[in-house]
Every structure is written in C-alpha cells, then in structure tokens.
Amino acid sequence: MRPRANAKAKSMPKPDLRPVKQLLLFSLIFLIAFATQVLAQDEKIIKSHGFSRFGELKYPADFKHLDYVNPNAPKGGEISTWAQGAFDTLHRYSTKGEHAGSATIFFESLMAATADEVDAVYGLIAETIEYPESLKWAIFNLRPEAKFSDGTDVTAEDVVFSHNILKEKGLPTLKTLFSDVTSVEALDADRVKFSFNEDLPLSILAEQINLVVGTPVFSKSWWNGTDAQGEPRDFANSTIEAPLGTGPYILDELDVGKRISYKLNPDYWGKDLPINVGRNNFEKIRYEYYADPTAGFEGFKAGNYHYRTENSSKQWAQGYDFPAINNGWVVKKELPDGDLGSAQAFIFNLRNEKFEDPRVREALGMMFNFEWSNETLFFGLYERVQSFWANSTMEAKGAPSPEELEILQSVAEFLPESVLTAEAIVPTPSSPRQLDRKALRKASALLDEAGWTVDSEGKRRNAEGELLSVEFLTYSPLFDRIINPFVENLSRIGVEAVLNRTDTAAYVNRLDEFDFEVMTHTFGMSQTPGIGLRQWFSSSSADISSGGRNMSGLKNEGIDILVERVIASQTRGELELNVRVLDRALRSLKIWAPQWFKDVHTVAYWDMFEHPENLPPFALGTLDFWWYNAEKAEKLKAAGAL
C-alpha cells in the first residue's frame, strides 16, 4: 500500500515562474529586434539619379540633355494658343472653379518623366532618391539650389506640407491614390522620407514611389499666409491669385476668363539642369479664350494667336483655305504620334437603371455608324477606337491566348461567357449609309430580349410602361453634327433620344455629380498602367463624385480583381499580359460605344516656330521643347503678316 502524501507538502505553493517567462519573452523580443536590425542593415540601399518601375534607366547620371531636345534652342519669343469657354481660377488642384490653361505651369515635382521612356523618372527638385530593395520607403535628397519663384528655399517641410494638403483638401481621387503612404517626414531641411504600407507587394510599392515622385511641391509658408486682401488662404478654394511655385514660368498678364499669359522667370533656379536643357524655350506663353470653336478658328486665321492643334476633321479638311495659308505664312502639318490611341467613346452611365442590361448598351451603341461618320463627316481621317490601349502591345486582339485564358477563367463568373471563347470585341463595321439596316434589326432584337418592346406609337417601353429615353450631354457645338445622326438612328428603333448642349460650367458641374446619361469621354490610359486604374474602373471609385474618374459607374468584382493583377505586375511582360486581359474584359461589358482616333498630331501654326526633327514617341511637346525662330518672325512682320 502506497503511503499518503504529506499534507504539509501537498499544500506548499508552486514556484512563481512569471519572471522567468518574462525574461525569456524579453530575450526573444530582443533577439528578433536585433535580427531585424541586422537584416535591415544588410539590406542594400540604392541611391540613384532616377527611378524606373521596370528595367534600367535610359539616361546615366552624367547625361547632358535629353536625346530629343535641341540643346542649342534659342530662348525668347512668344507662343500663343487658344482655349474654349472661360476660367475663374489659377488653382489647378482644387475642385472649385474652372482653371486656366496650363495652370500647373507654376509647379514642379520631385522627379520628372521624359517623352521617350514609359517607366522612368529623373531627379528635378530632388537630386537623388534612396530606397531599399524592399521598396518600403524612399528618401528624396532635395537640391540645395531649388527655390520658389520668390527666391525662398524649397525645404523638406514644403514637400511634407504638399503631400498632406493634397490628401486633405485636394482632388478627391488623391486620397485613394495616396492611401498606402503611411507617413511623410522631414529628416532635415533637404531630406524627406516617404514610408509605405509594408504589406504591399514590390510591384505596388514601386507604383507608390512613382506616385509620390510626381507630387507637385507647394510653398508651406505661402499657403499658410494671407492674400492681398489680408484673408487667410485656403487650399480648398479657387483663387485668381497666382500660387507660388518653383516652375520656370510665372504669371505675366491676366484678364479673367478671357486671356492669360505666363513669362519665363529669369531667375528660374533649374534652367541649367541637364533635364531642362533645350526646354522651356519661349519667353512667353499666352492663351486666348473663345466662346466656341468657330470663333476660336477665326481668331487663328486673323493672327490673334499663332498655334493650334486641330481637333475638327472638317476644319482640317476644308477650313485651311485662307490668305495666310495661301501666302505661306501658316504651316499646316501632320506629325507622328507614337503614344496610345485615344480611348474616346460615348459613355453610358450605369448608375441609371435602364443601362444596367448590357444588351441595352450594345443595342444603343450599334446605332452609331462610325463608317458613315468617318466618310461623310470626318473625311476619312480617323480610325475606329477598338481598345482602351489602342496603338500599343497592351491591346487585346483575336481569341485569348492560353496565358490570357488562364487568368480569365479565374474571374469568369463575373464576365460574359463569351469572353473565354470569342475574339476580343470590336465594333461591327456598318454600311456606308447613315442607317445600317442590319444593325437596326440586331439592335431591335436585343432591346426586345431586354424587355424594351415597341408600343403602338413606335416607342420602346418596358413592362412598367416606362419610355426608353436617352439624353446625350455635350458642351461643344462641334459634336452636333456627329450626335444628331446618332439620335436619328436611335429614333428609328423606337428610342426617344435627345441632344442637350450646355455651357461649359454647367457641363462640368453635371459631370462632377454624375448627372448625365450618355456623354463623350476619353479614358486617359497610361503606357504603364498602375494604381490609377482604380480611379477609372474599380467599384470603390464608382460613387466618388466631384472629380471622380469612374464616369461609367462600373462596379464589377471581376474587373476589380483584374485591376489589382495589373497593379501587382512584377515585370513589363507580365504587365502587358495582365493589361490585355483587362482590356478584353472591359470591352466584353460594353460600357461604351467607341468613337475614333488618329495616330498623327494635326497642327497648324504661323511660321515662326520650330521643333526637333525627330520628335519623341510619347509627346508632341509644343510648350515644352519647341522654340521661337526670331528671323522667321521678322520676315512675317516685314510681309505684313504679323
């Protein structure tokens, strides 16, 4: 028989091991922290004159000038152009008011892109950038010579202020774009550090760096000061006061709503930087404002301004027959455009219940006859838009490749079944007659299937008796001749369509509030798409009013997933594959009726301006690296042209 345990021993307390456990825990924490510090110390820190999301930089640290500029371009003269409507603010980064042409000219960013690379940026206000291989932060070393136009130094505090004020009071979309910037801090007067969400993959962290390098730099002391009336300045408000910036140009003259001109700052701090050699060549840049395009063109013919990009095919084909052209005083020229084809289209506002059914959108879009319009109205100058990334290797073509198909299958439940098997959707060519009978029959069948049937009066109504009506919103009279035939074609299938042309201010206000049904819109796509795609297509951006970019109101979980795939791309090849899939998916949803584009710049100017012989692929650069020929200008004056 086992002896009983001693009662006294049984009641003895257990030893307190908490101090030991705490000591072990603290030791473990110390070891982890030490290991992390060692790893951080071992992590390679890159310091460079530029940054590229993919691949190597084209220009070395000691480059003398950009390849496409004329380093010997003379400085001087004035270039003048036109704008439609009016303006009431010089503050481009506020949602209030209509900003003047080139209102961003006062400002510069930390680093700047070039017109011959798609992924690279080079130091501007920042001389160099430092970042670890993990890309979890970036430090910008500001140039000590960088100054605002009043002669005050640019400091890291100005950069911190600029980022924070843009998030707080700037354009609403910036809050989304900068959401993964966890902190911005001034390390000293000339060093500023941006830290990012460390949970993000490398590709998105690289995109974050690309975003923050483009931050326009404002003067903290200026914005925290008072205006000429002694009132505190408010970044959220519009202002006709020229904001203080570091840029090469400052305000010259101003006639609110009618005219504005900028002049080259003779004390511009950055005029001798290699990235600026051969650029900012005009002494003055002037904008003349006109109520409509007709008045604007007459102003050009009369020599009231001297340069224009011609956006009217009719004007380009028929309008350039006036004395200054015939005398050889005005140059009419087509210059190559190697950039993305403009993704311009009639956009359906999916926030309207009647546009929720893709069959309705497809039927309405089929009634726009591009072929007839191009031949009859555009003089054959355009091509049909078929892709959000036309004229690039990111355009989806034909049936999906095996690599594309694998990605599409992961989001197939959110997209039409045909996206897996059919070729990438392109608009069906129409007959040369305004009303294509074949298109009419197919569109009618689609509307019947969608429940919009024809009543006894020939009008389309749904089961509740509601009329299928469509309002086209525009501000430009140039679109009347394009939209009116579209309206006529829609009436032939029983749709009550109208054209509503408003003034520019009313148009902008309605767009800001998404108060439209169908309007012309251009999707501003990039050669290196990234986080900005969330603004254009993600569900989270569909309800952002007052400056939101998701004009169609698209909300599709599959598109959201594909957008994030693009953002997460690790290589250029992976990016292009993911964009082709996104392009294919977007086109399958029929959120637009594609319009037109051309792969040349159509420009006209009085013969006193010159440009480099070999223009870069991604920018025309008229106000950037063209220049004034004083000898040619004198000849025009001697001939009585000017």
* Span 523-562, pLDDT tens digits: 989 888 988 899 899 999 998 766 678 999 999 999 999 9
* Residue in 298, 133, 106 with CA at minimum distance from that of residue 209: 133
Q: Could you tell me if 314 and 362 lie in one domain?
A: no
pLDDT band at 49; cut points 50, 70, 90: very high
Q: Could you tell me if 254 and 365 lie in one domain?
A: no
Checking if the pLDDT of 36 tops 70, the result is no
- 30 inside domain: no
SS3 for 285?
strand
Q: Which domain holds residue 314?
A: 299-337+599-613+626-642
- Residue 544 has a pLDDT of 79
pLDDT band at 30; cut points 50, 70, 90: very low
**Rounded Cα distance, 388 and 375, in Å:** 23
Q: Could you tell me if 409 and 311 lie in one domain?
A: no
- 618 inside domain: no
> Pick the residue with more confidence: 259 or 2?
259
- Residue 43 has a pLDDT of 83
- The lowest-confidence range among 248-257, 308-317, 480-489 is 308-317
| Residues 6 or more apart in contact with residue 453 via CB below 8 angstroms | 447, 460, 461
Checking if the pLDDT of 216 tops 60, the result is yes
- Residue 28 has a pLDDT of 44
- 175 inside domain: yes
- 642 inside domain: yes
Sign, Cα dihedral of 367, 372, 373, 376: negative
Q: 209 with 135: CB under 8 angstroms? A: yes
| CATH number of the domain where residue 462 is located | 3.10.105.10
Q: 354 with 398: CB under 8 angstroms? A: no
- Residue 548 has a pLDDT of 78
Tokens encoding 583: 């392009």
Average pLDDT for 364-393: 94
Neighbours of 59 (CB within 10 A): 19
| CATH number of the domain where residue 140 is located | 3.40.190.10
Average pLDDT for 107-136: 96
**Rounded Cα distance, 556 and 389, in Å:** 20
Q: Could you tell me if 410 and 314 lie in one domain?
A: no
Burial class (CB in 10 A: 0-12, 13-18, 19+), 300: buried
Q: 116 with 339: CB under 8 angstroms? A: no
Q: Could you tell me if 415 and 523 lie in one domain?
A: yes
Please give the mean pLDDT across all residues of the chain. 91
* Span 135-159, pLDDT tens digits: 999 999 999 999 999 999 999 999 9
Q: Could you tell me if 175 and 259 lie in one domain?
A: yes
Q: Could you tell me if 408 and 437 lie in one domain?
A: yes
pLDDT band at 341; cut points 50, 70, 90: confident
Q: Could you tell me if 150 and 166 lie in one domain?
A: yes
pLDDT band at 446; cut points 50, 70, 90: very high
* Residue in 523, 527, 536 with CA at minimum distance from that of residue 392: 527
- Residue 547 has a pLDDT of 64
> Pick the residue with more confidence: 515 or 36?
515
| Residues 6 or more apart in contact with residue 488 via CB below 8 angstroms | 434, 435
Checking if the pLDDT of 126 tops 50, the result is yes
Checking if the pLDDT of 232 tops 70, the result is yes
Q: Could you tell me if 386 and 399 lie in one domain?
A: yes
For 197-258, strand residue ranges (E) read 249-255
Q: Could you tell me if 561 and 513 lie in one domain?
A: yes
**Rounded Cα distance, 237 and 97, in Å:** 8
Tokens encoding 109: 């960013």
Checking if the pLDDT of 413 tops 90, the result is yes
- Cα distances (Å, whole numbers) of residue 311 to 275, 297, 317, 318, 500: 31, 11, 11, 13, 21
| Residues 6 or more apart in contact with residue 143 via CB below 8 angstroms | 123, 125, 126, 127, 154, 270
pLDDT band at 476; cut points 50, 70, 90: confident
Tokens encoding 168: 């707080």
The total domain count for the chain is 3
- Residue 522 has a pLDDT of 93
**% of the chain at pLDDT higher than 70:** 93
**Given the structure tokens 């010579």, which residue do they identify?**
145
Checking if the pLDDT of 29 tops 80, the result is no
**Rounded Cα distance, 191 and 126, in Å:** 9
Average pLDDT for 564-588: 95
- 15 inside domain: no
| Residues 6 or more apart in contact with residue 626 via CB below 8 angstroms | 79, 281, 282, 609, 610, 611
- 158 inside domain: yes
Q: Could you tell me if 100 and 140 lie in one domain?
A: yes
- 520 inside domain: yes
- Residue 42 has a pLDDT of 64
Q: Could you tell me if 273 and 397 lie in one domain?
A: no
- Residue 531 has a pLDDT of 85
Beta bridge partners of 307: 605
- The lowest-confidence range among 30-39, 80-89, 293-302, 379-388 is 30-39
- Residue 325 has a pLDDT of 96
Checking if the pLDDT of 31 tops 90, the result is no
- 1 inside domain: no
Checking if the pLDDT of 338 tops 90, the result is no
